[in-house]
Amino acid sequence: MLRTSARLSDGREIIYFDESPDAVRVLEDPRGLAPVESTSTARYDRLTGEWVGIAGHRQTRIYQPPADQCPLCPSTAANHSEIPSPQYDVVVFENRFPSFAGTGSPARIGRFFTTVEGNGRCEVVCFTSDHNATFSHLTPERVGTVIEAWADRTAALSAQPGIEQVFCFENRGAEIGVTLAHPHGQIYGYPFVTPNTAAMLRQVAEYRTATGGNLFGAVLDAEIAEGVRLVAQNEHWVAFVPFAARWPIEVQLFPRKRVADLTELSPEQRLALAPIYLEVLRRMEGVFDDSLPAITAWHQAPVHEGRDDFWLHLQIFTIRRSVGKLKYLAGSESAMGAFVNDIPPEVAAERLRQVPLDPAQSGH
């Protein structure tokens, strides 16, 4: 893989990840943009023990432009986009409207009101130059390039002062709130450990103290042994609907051997990931004869804590609960954080297994 780094006209970094060692990319950005100014902060909620990001400058970000003005497509004479080159494989660049940006600013600590600067970094990952593609129909080779880009950026952001956790994710579909239709994901470098990760770390620590074992590994072994919620597996990965799935169709994808984050995946694990990842996505697309508004989320160990026990895993879920119907986060979910799922996980797993696939697309 060829990695080429450059700067956009406002100073933001852009990195090309190309499958051909002979790839030549246009690096000069002719737009003459003003430097990005971020006003983001993070505020601590004393009642819940959670951090909340505040980023008022993001109200002005680009919202659903027409295809011929897409800022994530390769640049043309008529559309100078965020990507100066007229072609690319995978590209990563700093978000022009970041939720978090900057390094190392000190906290303002109060008795009830504690604020830190929104230290961190937000990046955009374009999976392909094809505006009309979806991740599920990329080639395994292209998915492998994306995985390499994720691992590269996880290492880079983890080394940046002030970042406590790195999150690689994709929002897919207008129903999810996607503002740009081009197939892309994002990477957040947070200045705090996120609430869901903090909750997992507490559970894992309690299990370690009580049993001496790893909770992630114990749950994975139990899912494999019970089998009813398994969706797909290969030599290095296992995909299953979790026992307490919150979403109508939700799959978690675990490596059989524990690693803390994407940087620790072995070459064999990386090679085996692409086909089963694609299989899970295609099975999810086949459950309902409708669009698949979905979120894919890489759960990685924080940068500075819990790394000896955390188990990297991918969560993929959709808010689609039936044809023409969505799962909304209403009173119980939004106010109380108490999910109610209309589809039993065992039923969801069976539906996923029954989706017919071209044998050439199978991750087995």
> CA end-to-end span of the chain, whole Å?
26
What is the spatial distance between Cα 364 and Cα 353, in angstroms, rounded to a whole number? 12
Residue 32: left if φ>0, alpha if ψ -120 to 50, beta else—which one?
left
Q: Taking a C-beta distance cutoff of 8 angstroms, is the pair 257, 236 a contact?
A: yes
Contacts for 360 with CB less than 8 Å, ≥ 6 apart: none
Helices (H), 20-164: 140-158
Among residues 57, 137, 182, 184, the one annotated as catalytic is 184
What angle do the packed helices 215-226 and 195-211 form, to 10 degrees?
90
- Hey, what amino acid is at 43? R
Other beta carbons within 10 angstroms of residue 230's beta carbon come to: 16
- Hey, what amino acid is at 164? E
| Known active-site residue 184 | yes
Q: Which residues are catalytic?
A: 184
